[in-house]
């Protein structure tokens, strides 16, 4: 009898445990997107959410994502297809735009138009993109100097403004057609020391401004980094746009900071923020929010929860990253939106039509260093683990050519094929020390070889492992593991998978990539 009672109690406890686990699995988990999607700006139009983000030196830039539930996002457009035609943006004459390009954007919906503002320190310009159809375009753009750092675009009472600055925040009024700063318009300090709520010892002054108007009051959100502390969200509020403003700390947990707030059609509120998460990059978190005495209260007892009362994620494939067979039907774009080039590409040196079902990367000049070469085609890696693989045909490579697959950041890793004195070799290179070092080279006697890279971001281990296969079935480790490292002053973005081909001696060769496959599984050996 006692055994039956014990068994029944155990069954009840087990059932409750399974129900709890099932409930958690059916809910959204933080981070919402375990991939590099920093500096988010977000709007809701009806029941649809749109988000813009930063992709620095990548082209096209200022990605636009869409969601119906705040959790499952899909790339639908880019606001910018080129910030300009300069040596730095084009990666020519030894110049580059790494870590620069387009920075934090500001998205707005006003009078039936969508607006996205961004800033580029490379050109020292502010850009404002405008469209009636955010998913299909076309976009019109106005650009002007100076470039205003990490602005919030504001439409208020028939006027347009930018709020910008670091610590000391200013507001400038724009011309009615948004083509520049309005002469004689408002141009003044908005908050003398917006970092003050976080204390007197500040390492990063209040920046990343995002302004919202809720129930007649103005709320300005910023990121601040107290010295010896963590990245922190501050909020200031005012009854009038020009102040006076009062401020306080809005969230200080896990370094989750910089962003804004969004409401749902059923009246719930969330803060959208990001966390620096090692080599994978800056990853989005959503945090529940409520209102008390006219102030936004972010978090659950001041903390960032692991689960959210939102639908579970279906994964980042195919909305943000995706495999590609390089086969195109009539009318389809040459490249899906998941792809971005490293800097502006040379469009004469790549094709998905010259050989049906293949991406062809051609060389047109001599480059001594991989990071100086053009036309590396990239898309995000993601966590907790991800894998990228390809099949490359190297029959038409020339002596001195290098082609293959890479984990792309300043401290990159490569696995591919090189041509040396008319002979082919599979190679693995690590740039962990900022001096590209070949860790292994193996003679290759065939024209096709399979390449794969696994990325492990669990517990911030941040390791990449490199493989090759001669038959697509048996995978062989090559070289060694790369300890991936996020670099702030150079690339300033999370690691990406990249397909590359460059010449060190004789331009004019080419490599054909049969496919690119991306997966959320890695080799068990890892």
The secondary structure of 194-228 as a DSSP string is TTGGG-S-EEEEEEEEEEEEETTEEEEEEEEEETT
Do 415 and 453 contact (CB within 8 A), yes or no? Answer: yes
Q: Are residues 366 and 275 in the same domain?
A: no
Three-class SS of residue 444?
A: strand
Tokens of 365: 């000049």
Which of 258, 292, 311 terminates a domain? The answer is 311
DSSP-derived pairing of the beta strands 448-456 and 437-444: unpaired
Which residues does 153 contact at the CB level (< 8 Å), separation at least 6?
106, 107, 108, 115, 117, 128, 160, 161, 162
50: Cβ contacts below 8 Å, ≥ 6 apart? 42, 43, 44, 64, 65, 66, 107, 114, 134
Q: Is residue 330 part of a domain?
A: no
Identify the H or E element spanning 25: helix 2-25
Q: Note whether residue 211 is domain-resident.
A: yes
pTM metric for this prediction = 0.93
Position 159 scores a pLDDT of: 98
pLDDT for the residue numbered 20 = 44
Closest CA to 129 of 152, 183, 138: 138
Same domain, yes or no: 286 and 407: no
* pLDDT score of 17: 46
* Same domain flag for 307 and 344: no
pLDDT confidence of residue 488: 80
Last residue of a domain, one of 295, 311, 327: 311
Enter the tokens of residue 252: 């200080």
Retrieve residue 418's tokens: 């090189």
Give a yes or no: residue 524 inside a domain: no
Q: Is residue 435 part of a domain?
A: yes
Residue 351 — φ and ψ, nearest 5°?
-165, 145
Tens place of pLDDT per residue across the chain (526 aa) = 455 555 554 444 444 443 444 444 589 999 999 999 999 999 999 999 999 999 999 999 999 999 999 999 999 999 999 999 999 999 999 999 999 999 999 999 999 999 999 999 899 999 999 999 999 999 999 999 999 999 999 999 999 999 999 999 999 999 999 999 999 999 999 999 999 999 999 999 999 999 999 999 999 999 999 999 999 999 999 999 999 999 999 999 999 999 999 999 999 999 999 999 999 999 999 999 999 999 999 999 999 999 999 999 999 999 999 999 999 999 999 999 999 999 999 999 999 999 999 999 999 999 999 999 999 999 999 999 999 999 999 999 999 999 999 999 999 999 999 999 999 999 999 999 999 999 999 999 999 999 999 999 999 999 999 999 999 999 999 999 999 999 987 899 999 999 999 999 999 999 999 999 999 999 875 4
**CA dist., res. 459 & res. 280, Å (int):** 11
How many independent structural domains does the chain possess?
A: 2
Query: Do residue 35 and residue 94 come from a single domain?
Result: yes
Name 147's Cβ contacts closer than 8 Å, sequence gap at least 6. 119, 120, 121, 123, 124, 125, 126
Structural domain including 503 reads 340-519
Residue 408 CA neighbour count, 13 Å, CB half = 30
Does residue 277 sit in the same domain as residue 388?
no
Render the burial of 333-368: b for 16+ CB within 10 Å, e for the rest: eebebbbbbbbbbbeebbbbeebeebbbbbbeeebe
Say if residue 512 is in the same domain as residue 469: yes
Tell whether 278 and 399 lie within a shared domain.
Answer: no
Give the contacts of 2 (CB within 8 A, at least 6 positions apart): none
Q: In this structure, are 37 and 179 located in the same domain?
A: yes
One domain, residues 302 and 351: no
**C-alpha separations of 222 from 231, 297, 520 in Å:** 10, 15, 34
Q: Does residue 221 form part of some domain?
A: yes
My answer on whether 289 and 366 are in the same domain is no
Query: Are 144 and 193 members of one domain?
Result: yes
Give backbone dihedrals phi and psi of 498, rounded to 5 degrees, phi first.
-140, 145
Q: What is the pLDDT of residue 490?
A: 81
Q: Judge whether 250 and 289 are in contact, CB under 8 Å.
A: no
Q: What is the largest CA-CA distance in the chain?
A: 89
456 exposure class (CB count in 10 Å sphere: 0-12, 13-18, 19+): buried
The H or E element that residue 4 is part of is helix 2-25
Residue 457 phi/psi, 5-degree rounding, is -110, 10
pLDDT score of 26: 87
Cβ contact 383:520 at 8 Å: no
Q: For residue 179, give the CATH number of its domain.
A: 2.115.10.20
pLDDT on residue 13: 47
Task: Classify residue 289: in a domain, yes or no.
Answer: yes
Q: Identify whether the C-beta of residue 151 lies closer than 8 Å to the C-beta of residue 52.
A: no
Element at 14 (helix H, strand E): helix 2-25
**Residue 17 placed within a domain:** no
Q: Is residue 280 part of a domain?
A: yes
* Cβ proximity of 115 and 132 under 8 Å: no
Same domain assignment for residues 378 and 277: no
Residue 329 CB coordination number (10 Å): 5
Strands 401-408 and 385-393: unpaired
Question: What is the Cα–Cα distance from 472 to 242, expressed in whole angstroms?
Answer: 64
Q: What is the pLDDT of residue 5?
A: 55
Domain end residue (candidates: 273, 294, 311): 311
Contact yes or no for 167/194 (Cβ under 8 A): yes
CB-based contacts of 205, cutoff 8 Å, min separation 6: 166, 167, 168, 194, 195, 224
Q: What is the pLDDT of residue 4?
A: 56
How many whole angstroms separate alpha carbon 341 and alpha carbon 345? 6
CA 137 to CA 129: how far, in whole Å? 10
């Amino acid at each position: 009898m006692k055994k039956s009672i014990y068994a029944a109690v155990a069954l009840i406890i087990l059932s409750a445990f399974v129900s709890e686990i099932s409930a958690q699995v059916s809910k959204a988990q933080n981070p919402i997107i375990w991939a590099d999607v920093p500096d988010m700006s977000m709007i809701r139009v009806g029941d649809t959410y749109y988000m813009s983000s930063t992709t620095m030196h990548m082209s096209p830039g200022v990605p636009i994502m869409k969601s119906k539930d705040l959790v499952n996002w899909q790339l639908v457009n880019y606001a910018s297809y080129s910030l300009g035609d300069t040596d730095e943006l084009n990666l020519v004459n030894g110049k580059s735009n790494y870590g620069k390009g387009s920075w934090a954007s500001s998205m707005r919906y006003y009078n039936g138009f969508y607006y996205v503002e961004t800033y580029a320190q490379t050109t020292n310009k502010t850009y404002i993109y405008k469209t009636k159809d955010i998913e299909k375009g076309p976009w019109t753009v106005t650009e002007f100097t100076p470039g205003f750092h990490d602005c919030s675009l504001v439409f208020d009472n028939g006027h347009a403004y930018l709020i910008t600055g670091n610590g000391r925040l200013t507001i400038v009024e724009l011309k009615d057609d948004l083509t520049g700063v309005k002469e004689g318009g408002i141009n003044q300090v908005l908050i003398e020391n917006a970092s003050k709520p976080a204390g007197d010892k500040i390492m990063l002054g209040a920046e990343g401004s995002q302004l919202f108007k809720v129930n007649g009051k103005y709320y300005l959100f910023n990121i601040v980094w107290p010295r010896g502390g963590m990245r922190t969200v501050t909020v200031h509020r005012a009854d009038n746009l020009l102040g006076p403003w009062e401020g306080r700390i809005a969230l200080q947990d896990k370094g989750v900071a910089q962003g804004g707030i969004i409401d749902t059609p059923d009246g719930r509120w969330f803060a959208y923020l990001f966390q620096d998460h090692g080599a994978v990059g800056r990853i989005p978190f959503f945090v529940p929010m409520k209102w008390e005495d006219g102030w936004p209260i972010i978090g659950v007892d001041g903390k960032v929860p692991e689960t959210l009362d939102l639908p579970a994620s279906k994964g980042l494939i195919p909305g943000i990253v995706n495999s590609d067979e390089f086969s195109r039907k009539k009318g389809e774009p040459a490249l899906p939106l998941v792809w971005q080039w490293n800097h502006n590409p040379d469009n004469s040196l790549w094709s998905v039509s010259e050989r049906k079902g293949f991406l062809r990367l051609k060389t047109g000049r001599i480059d001594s260093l991989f990071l100086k070469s053009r036309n590396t085609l990239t898309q995000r890696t993601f966590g907790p683990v991800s894998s990228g693989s390809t099949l490359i045909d190297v029959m038409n490579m020339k002596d001195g050519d290098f082609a293959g697959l890479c984990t792309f950041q300043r401290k990159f890793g490569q696995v591919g094929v090189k041509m040396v004195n008319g002979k082919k070799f599979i190679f693995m290179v690590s740039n962990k020390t900022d001096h590209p070092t070949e860790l292994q080279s193996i003679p290759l006697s065939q024209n096709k070889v399979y390449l794969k890279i696994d990325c492990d971001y669990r517990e911030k281990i941040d390791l990449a492992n490199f493989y090759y296969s001669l038959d697509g079935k048996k995978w062989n480790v090559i070289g060694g593991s790369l300890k991936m490292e996020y670099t702030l002053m150079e690339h300033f973005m999370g690691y990406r998978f990249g397909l590359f081909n460059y010449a060190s001696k004789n331009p004019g060769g080419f490599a054909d990539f049969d496919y690119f496959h991306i997966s959320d599984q890695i080799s068990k050996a890892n």
